Chains A and B, each alone.
Chain A
Amino acid sequence: MKVDASNPLWRFRGITSTAMLFFAYLYLPIVILIALSFNENRLATIWTGFTTDWYVAALSNDDMLRAAKNSLVIAISATVIATIAATLAAMGMSRGRFRGETGVSAILALPLLVPEVVTAIATLLFFVAIGIKLGLVTIIIAHTVFCIPFAYLPIRARIEGMDPSLREAANDLYANEWQAFRRVTLPLLWPGILSGAMLSFIISLDDFVISYFVGGAGATTLPIYIFGMIRIGITPEVNAISAMMLLVSIVFVSISFIIDRIRY
C-alpha cells in the first residue's frame, strides 16, 4: 500500500493494527470456512490434512445439484424480468420532470428498505390469498420484485450521466425513436444494464428468507438446501458448497463493478 505522508490518517499510530482488526472481523470467518472446506477430517474443527474430496462429494450430490439448478433458473428468470422492467422504468423516469416524480423514485427504491421478513410474509399471504400454488414460479415472482431496485439504480445512474442531446442528435440525423434507442441509447446504457443484471443475479442467488417463505416443496434453492444441511451438522461438504457460492458471487460482483466503470 502506498503511504501518503500528507494524509493525516497516518499520524494516528494505531491505524495499521486497527485496520487489520477490522478486516479480520470482516473476513476471518470466511477465510476459516474456505480453509476448512479443504480439511481432510470430518470434524470441522480438527485439521488433519489437505483434500479436495469434499468438493467432489458436493458436485456429485444430486440433491445439491437439483437445488443449484433451481437457484439458477430462479436467478436467471428474475434477472431477465427485473432488468427489462428496470431499464424501461429508468428510461421513462429520465424523459423529463413530472408531478410526483420524487414519490415514484422513492417507491422504486422502497424494496431495498422494507425488512425482508415483512416482504416475505406479505408476499406469502398474497400468493395464498390469490390461490397460486407455491413453487418455482412464486419464488421467481417474489425475486423479481426485490431485484428491480438493484437493477434500476445502476441503469438510472447511466442515464443521468448521458448527455440528453445525444438522443436528440440521433433524431436530428434521421433516426426515428426506435433507431435512436437501438443505435445510440442502448449501446451507451449497456454497461449499466449489464451491471444491474449481474447484481440482480447475485442478490437472487443468495436470497434465503423470501425463498424460504414463498417456495413450496420441490422448490428448494441452494441457500435453503445449505440451511437444511447445517441443521444436521456443519460438515466440510457444506463448507465446500458455501465456498463455491462465494466464488460465484465474487466473480459476478467484480464483473458488475468493472463493467460499471466503463466510460466512453
Chain B
Amino acid sequence: MSEVVISAQSVGKTFGSGAGKVTALKDVSVDIFQNEFFTMLGPSGCGKTTLLRLIGGFEQATSGKILLEGQELNDLPPFKRPINTVFQSYALFPHLTVRQNITFGLEMKSISRDAANARADEMLELVQLADYGDRVPNQLSGGQQQRIALARALAPAPKVLLLDEPLSALDLKLRKEMQIELKRLQTETGITFVFVTHDQEEALAMSDRIAVMQSGEILQVGAPRDIYEQPTHRFVADFIGDSNFLRGDLVDAANGGRAISFGEGRVVNLAADITPAKTKDVSVSIRPERLTITDANAPLDNKLGGTISSITYFGTDTTYRVDLDGGAPVTVRMQNGDGATAPFGKGDRVGVVVPAEAIRVLVD
C-alpha cells in the first residue's frame, strides 16, 4: 500500500452543549492513502460532511487529531492547509470572472500573475471549458459551474481535494457524465480525492475505497467490491444494494464445519472462513442475485423450502418473492434465460439454494 496522506485518529466532534448537545462524530479513525479516490458514504446526519469539514479546517475537532503526511493539522486554519474543497453549492465568486475565480487561490499563494494565468488556462483545458475564462459564473450552466469549481480547487495543486456532494445538484445524465469526469481528473492529476456522498451507486462507480458511515461512526472501510460482497454490518448490507436478512442459530455442520439453522430441518452450511462472534440469534444477509430457485425436490445441499408469493419481471431478470417454510420471506433475483416461458409460477412449491459463500454474518 502507498503512503498515508490523511490520518484521522480517534476524531470526535460535538456541536452545542448541555441539552442541545449533538454528537456528529464519535471516535473515528481512518487512513486515506496517496492518489486514492476515497469516498465517505452514508445517509444525511451520519457525520460524513463533518469529517470532511474537519479535514478542510472549517470545524475544529472536539477530540482526537487529524494528520496530513504525519503533520498534525488541528490548529491550522483552512488557508494554511494544502487542501482544497469543491463545495456542494460550488461557491464560485459571483463578482469575479471564471479566470479570476481560478487564479484566486494562486494569487493568495503569491504566484505571479503570468504563471497564475497560464495555470488557469491549463485548468480550463483540463475541465474542457477552454473558451469560458472571461464569463462570469451566472452565465454558466450547473454542469459548467461544477467544472469551474473543480478547476479552481485543483489549480493550486493541493495534496488533497475534498468534494462535498458536488454532484447532488445535477440531473441524472449530467451526474453520470461528471462521475466519469471526476474519475478521469483524479487519475490525470494524481491528487487524493476525498468524496462525500449519500448515493451508493455513485460511490461504487468512482471509488477506490469507500467508508460507510452511520450515526457518527465508520462501520466499514473497503473497496467497492468488498463493501458490496462482504458487508460486515446489517446497515452496510441494507444501505448498499438489496439484501435479504435472516436470523438463525449457529450449529455444527455434518461436514465438520459450521452451519446456521433457521429451524428444524432448515439448516445451511457456512463458508469455512466465517467466525461469528455469537452463536444464538445470529444475523445474516444474502444478496438476492446469489440465490437460485430450483425444483422443491432437487437433491441439493443448502436448500430451503418455500412457496413463491409473487413474481416481478424486469426484462433482463426476474424477481421472485419466496415465503420460506417457517415464515421469513426472501427475494430471489434470477437472470432470464432464453425467455421462452417463466420456469416457475406463483404459488409453486420450490427450493431456494443458498450458496455457503453468499451468506454474510453481520454485526447488528
| Cβ 8 A contact of A188, one of B57, B87, B89, B95 | B95
Segment 72-96 of B: residues with Cβ below 8 Å from A:
77-80, 83-85, 87-89, 91-95
**Which one, A172, A175, A179, A187, contacts B84 given CB within 8 A?**
A172
Given the complex, which residues of B lie within 8 Å of A188, measured CB to CB? 94-95
Whether the pair A166, B91 counts as a contact (CB closer than 8 A) is yes
B156 within 8 Å of A (CB atoms): yes
Apart from A163-B91, A172-B79, A172-B83, what are 13 other A-B pairs with CB-CB below 8 Å? A166-B93, A168-B87, A168-B91, A169-B85, A169-B91, A173-B84, A173-B108, A173-B152, A174-B105, A174-B108, A174-B156, A176-B79, A188-B95
Closest to A173 in B: B105
B91 in contact with A175 (CB, 8 Å): no
A172 touches B56 (CB 8 A): yes
B38 at the interface (CB under 8 A from A): no
- The size class of the interface chain A forms with chain B is 10 to 19
Complex Cα distance, B109 from A183, in Å, reads 14
From residue A224, how far is it (CB to closest CB) to chain B in Å?
42
Number of interface residues of B (CB under 8 A): 27
- Residues 39-54 of B, flagged 1 when their CB comes within 8 A of A and 0 if not, give 0000000000000000
State A264–B77 Cα separation when bound (angstroms).
29
Q: 8 Å CB contacts to B: which residues of A118-173?
A: 163, 165-166, 168-173
What are 10 residue pairs bridging A and B, where the CB atoms are less than 8 Å apart in the complex? A165-B88, A165-B91, A169-B92, A169-B93, A171-B58, A172-B84, A173-B84, A173-B108, A184-B93, A264-B95
Bound-state Cα–Cα, A264 to B96, Å? 10
Task: Name which of A163, A172, A179, A183 has the most chain B CB atoms within 10 A of its CB.
Answer: A172
Contact of B182 with A by CB under 8 A: no
User: Top 5 A-B pairs ranked by shortest CB distance?
Assistant: A264-B94, A173-B105, A174-B108, A169-B91, A165-B91
Residues of B within 8 A of A168 (CB): 58, 78, 85, 87, 91
Bound complex: CA A179 to CA B79 (Å): 10
* CB neighbours of A179 from chain B (8 A): 108
A182: min CB distance to chain B, Å: 11
What is the count of residue pairs linking A and B with beta-carbon distances less than 8 angstroms? 64
Complex Cα distance, B85 from A23, in Å, reads 55
Q: Which parts of B101-141 form the interface with A (CB within 8 Å)?
A: 104-105, 108-109, 136, 138
Q: Shortest CB–CB separation between residue B31 and chain A, in angstroms?
A: 23
Cα A188 to Cα B89 in complex, Å, equals 17
Residue of A nearest to B158 (CB): A172
A166 to B111, CA, bound (A): 22
Given contacts A175-B104, A175-B108, A188-B95, contact A165 B89 (CB under 8 A): yes
Bound form: Cα–Cα A166–B58 in Å: 12
> Using Cβ atoms and an 8 Å threshold, which residues of chain B touch A169?
85, 87, 91-93
> In the complex, which residue of chain B has the Cβ closest to the Cβ of A174?
B108
* A172, B94: Cβ atoms closer than 8 Å: no
- Which single member of A172, A175, A176 contacts B85 (CB below 8 Å)? A172
Q: How far is the CA of A179 from the CA of B80 in the complex (A)?
A: 13
Q: Which residue of A lies closest to B78 (CB)?
A: A171
Nearest-neighbour CB distance to chain B for A173, whole angstroms, equals 3
Find the B residue at minimum CB distance from A190. Answer: B95
* Known contacts A171-B77, A173-B156: A165-B84 contact under CB 8 Å: no
> With A and B bound together, what is the CA distance between A104 and B18 in angstroms?
23
Contact flag A174-B79 (CB < 8 Å), given A183-B104, A264-B136: yes
Question: Contacts of A166 on B, CB cut-off 8 Å?
Answer: 91, 93
A260 CA / B153 CA spacing, docked (Å): 31
CA distance A240 to B80 in the complex (A): 61
CA distance A174 to B57 in the complex (A): 12
* Contact B89 A163, beta carbon cutoff 8 Å: yes
Q: Which residues of B contact A264 (CB under 8 A)?
A: 94-95, 136, 138
Instruction: Let me know if A172 and B95 touch, CB within 8 A.
Output: no
Closest residue of B by beta carbon distance from A167? B91
Which of B77, B79, B84, B138 counts the most A-chain CB atoms under 10 A from its CB? B79
Q: Which B-chain residue is minimally distant from A169 (CB atoms)?
A: B91
Q: Which residues of A contact B56 (CB under 8 A)?
A: 172
Chain B nearest CB from A31 CB (Å) reads: 41
Q: Which residue of A lies closest to B58 (CB)?
A: A168
Encode contact with A along B301-345: 1 for CB under 8 Å, 0 otherwise. Answer: 000000000000000000000000000000000000000000000
Which of chain B's residues 260-288 have a Cβ closer than 8 Å to chain A?
A: none
For residue B91, which residues in chain A have a CB less than 8 angstroms away from its CB? 163, 165-166, 168-169
- Distance of A161 from chain B, by nearest CB (Å): 11
A184 neighbours in B (Cβ, 8 Å): 93
B85 partner residues in chain A, CB cutoff 8 A: 168-169, 172
Q: A171 to B85, alpha carbons, bound, how many Å?
A: 10
Query: In the complex, what residue of chain A is closest to B104 when comparing beta carbons?
Result: A173
Q: Measured between alpha carbons, how far is A163 from B57 in the docked complex, in Å?
A: 18
Task: For B83, list chain A residues within 8 Å (CB).
Answer: 172
A-side contacts of B80, CB under 8 Å: 174
